[in-house]
Amino acid sequence: MIRNVLSIAGSDPSGGAGIQADLKAFSARGVYGMAVLTALTAQNTQGVSGVHLVPPQFVADQINAVFADVRVDAVKIGMIANAGIADAVAAALADHRDIPIVIDPVMIAKGGAALLAPEAVDVLTRRLLPLATLLTPNLPEAAALLHQSVATNRAEMAEQAERLRALGPAAVLVKGGHLDSDESPDVLATAAGLHWFEARRVPTKNTHGTGCTLSSALAAELAKGASVQEAVAIAKDYLADAVAAAGNLTVGSGHGPVQHFYALWKDSE
């Protein structure tokens, strides 16, 4: 059976991040993708120049319309933008705790633009994090959620992963891509303890949408029945290959997108 996965996130008209990246990752991982928009952005590979938010009630209406008709096997939550939308999403998903929910706390764009209002952080923490099967912050996002300084080593990463899991998510994957080293380790905190995923840093500027792509691949694997640890291993391998193949694309002059369909587009080799 082909699984159905819903993304609740913002739009990237240049196609590298947000809903567009989510739908590409869902398709590449063999699941049927659906999308609820929380925001429209004006952005490209060089940065975000504008954000137009969807009214919270209409975000909820979109979610309710999907669940009223379609079997949803997993949900990925990306850009939430403000407290009103965070509240609306939490309320709409409150009766659907029986399916995997992956939250990628999109807070800052690759170019530095803020994508989450400061007052929304506490609502996200209080109402959405307890719904999460898996939370996937990078180092600045983990620090912002905890109101701490950004982790600079493995010990601090592990401590923040545990502190975030204490806020309600069943599991937390803190991503180490912002560490100042040749390595890019991620740490997964679950009820069973900590598990490290090792990776070498790929020398490329084509990293637009990597967080969106990883969280969507994770939701796809959880929808297909993988455990959280299995899903992380599979999704990280997929993303690594997508980043490695990013040079086959010629999209923009800034942080380019990853090649979601490296395994399917043979003419890209």
Q: How far apart are CA 214 and CA 205, in angstroms?
A: 17
Q: Which domains, from first to last, does the chain contain?
A: 4-136+205-268 (3.40.1190.20)
Place of tokens 């309710």: 64
pLDDT digits (tens, 9 = 90+) for 180-211: 666 778 999 999 999 999 877 666 777 788 89
**Distance in Å from the first CA to the final CA of the chain:** 31
Percentage above 70 pLDDT, the chain: 93
Which listed residue (41, 207, 236, 256) is catalytic? 207
For residues 242 and 205, the model is more confident at 242
Amino acid 215: pLDDT: 97
Stretch (H or E) spanning 220: helix 210-223
Q: Cβ distance 36 to 60 under 8 Å? A: no
Q: Would you say how long the chain is, in residues?
A: 269
Distance of CA 149 to CAs 34, 106, 121, 135, 144, Å?
A: 36, 18, 15, 19, 8
Which listed residue (212, 213, 224, 236) is catalytic? 212
pLDDT digits (tens, 9 = 90+) for 37-60: 999 999 999 988 999 999 999 999
Nearest CA among 117, 96, 94 for reference residue 105: 117
Which listed residue (45, 136, 210, 213) is catalytic? 210
Q: What pTM was computed for the model?
A: 0.93
Q: What is the DSSP string of 111-150?
A: TS-B-B-TTHHHHIIIIIGGG-SEE--BHHHHHHHHT-PP
pLDDT digits (tens, 9 = 90+) for 141-185: 999 899 899 988 899 999 999 999 999 999 999 998 767 666 778
Nearest CA among 149, 173, 268 for reference residue 222: 173
Judged against a pLDDT cut of 60, whether residue 269 lies above it is answered with no
Q: Which residues contact 112 (CB under 8 A, 6 or more apart)?
A: 47
Which listed residue (110, 175, 224, 236) is catalytic? 175
Whether residue 210 lies in the annotated active site: yes
Nearest CA among 26, 44, 43 for reference residue 35: 26
Residue 63 one-letter amino acid: I
User: Using alpha carbons only, how large is the chain's radius of gyration in Å?
Assistant: 17
